[in-house]
Amino acid sequence: MSDIKKVVLAYSGGLDTSVIVRWLQDTYDCEVVTFTADIGQGEEVEPAREKAKALGVKEIYIEDLREEFVRDYVFPMFRANTIYEGEYLLGTSIARPLISRRLIEIANETGADAISHGATGKGNDQVRFELGAYALKPGVKVIAPWREWDLNSREKLLAYCEERDIPVEKKKGKSPYSMDANLLHISYEGINLEDPWAEAEEDMWRWSVSPEAAPDKPTYVELTYSRGDIVAIDGEEMKPHVVLETLNKMAGDNGIGRLDIVENRYVGMKSRGCYETPGGTIMLRAHRAIESITLDREVAHLKDSVMPRYAEVIYNGYWWSPEREALQALIDQTQAYVNGTVRLKLYKGNVDVVGRKSEDSLFDEKIATFEEDQGAYDQKDAEGFIKLNALRLRIAAGKGRKL
């Protein structure tokens, strides 16, 4: 007899998690609580309620977390100009800590003994969900069906559904790829993408037109920043999730945000994936632009030096860790004067910064000018500066040392 009486499941309403509901009921003889989060995946989440009811679920949580997701997770990450392995904007990674937190909160609210998820045993998400859960509730029991059952193919899952009369909607034209979507991005894996030499099919992409098909006329947009976060687009104040929704549409229409990479998963393997992050691509470029005129040089370089570590922390699932909180405190402190406006030109897959201004700008035209500066900068001072910095090089060269 299992000591698990109630389990909170991260539930999408799709094939995998529908099977998991019944599998948990059969295997653990337990009550299942479902939790479905709307974080901007672009699909209606309310149908999950009827699907869960049909499986005998009595406690059903469906929550709109879009605002919280962007405000408390996406925006803090972008303050650091976070990018993993030089390319990936961490769209999947940053959604997991929020889902983990709500799973634990719902487990506490309902008196559940365990939580469960549909992540496979090969991926990073199992690590992210579970590290977050253990950080927030050390003694929680985690049930990961993909590490326990033998239903390791779509055919077996469908057969399981047929044997147990589990209703599964078979959508016409559904993408064959393994996909994950939220307000920040869509990821695509599997099928032909498992061959790193094969080009992604054009009809795979959902949010963006190809750069070749983008308008021949550029789109200009102005983003207003306050303490490192975008607060307005073209002068119109917006909530964080509306900012991202607006930028996604604007960027996607201009063929911006597609990425095709082979990344190093935390679990050890290399994985090829394609990502659409239209709004995030604009946000990264614009944030670096506003920082370029508002941040002190050494502070900017310090941020750049810790960013790869911060990116790894998020990618690997350590959002709820002391090192992430320490890094976040440093990053947030640097954003006090990151205020102002950036003007961008969007054109056929490109994001060009064409203007930046701020009342907190450290750019001094009187000093930087190539024209007469009225004594603002004494060029003779550069001679001593250069000689002092060359001293160690001159000493080594004088000793005959070779580089």
pLDDT of residue 170: 58
Find the mean pLDDT for residues 203-221.
97
Q: How confident is the model at residue 373 (pLDDT cuts 50, 70, 90)?
A: confident
**Exposed / middle / buried, residue 303 (Cβ in 10 Å: 0-12, 13-18, 19+):** buried
Give the pLDDT confidence of 299-351 residue by residue, as tens digits. Answer: 999 999 999 999 999 999 999 999 999 999 999 999 999 999 999 999 999 99
Instruction: Compute the distance between CA of residue 137 and CA of residue 103 in angstroms, rounded to an integer.
Output: 10
Percent of the chain with pLDDT over 70: 98
Query: Is residue 197 pLDDT above 60, yes or no?
Result: yes
Share of the chain above pLDDT 90, in %: 84
Q: Mean per-residue pLDDT for 158-170?
A: 83
> What is the mean predicted confidence (pLDDT) over 136-151?
95
Q: Is the pLDDT of residue 173 over 90?
A: no
Q: What's the mean pLDDT when you consider all of the chain? A: 94
| pLDDT band at 398; cut points 50, 70, 90 | very high
Q: Is the pLDDT of residue 172 over 90?
A: no
Domains of the chain: 6-65+91-163 (3.40.50.620), 178-295+334-357 (3.90.1260.10)
| Residue 81 φ/ψ, nearest 5 degrees | 55, 45
18 near 47, Cβ under 8 Å? no
Residues ≥6 apart with Cβ < 8 Å to 216: none
pLDDT at 207 over 70: yes
Mean pLDDT, residues 226-236: 98
**Tokens 């959508």 — which residue?**
171
Q: How large is the average pLDDT for residues 281-301?
A: 98
Tell me: the pLDDT tens digits for 24-48?
999 999 999 999 999 999 888 999 9
| Interval 99-111: pLDDT, tens | 999 999 999 999 9
Closest to 237 in 3D by CA, of 246, 228, 255, 224: 224
Q: Which residue has the tokens 């190539």?
A: 370
> Active-site positions?
16, 96, 125, 178
Model pLDDT, residue 175: 63
> For residue 7, what pLDDT is reported?
98
Under the banding of pLDDT at 50, 70 and 90, the label for residue 98 is: very high
Average pLDDT over residues 264-292: 97
Q: How confident is the model at residue 368 (pLDDT cuts 50, 70, 90)?
A: confident
Higher pLDDT, 379 or 321: 321
Question: Cα dihedral angle (201, 203, 206, 211), rounded to 10 degrees?
Answer: 70
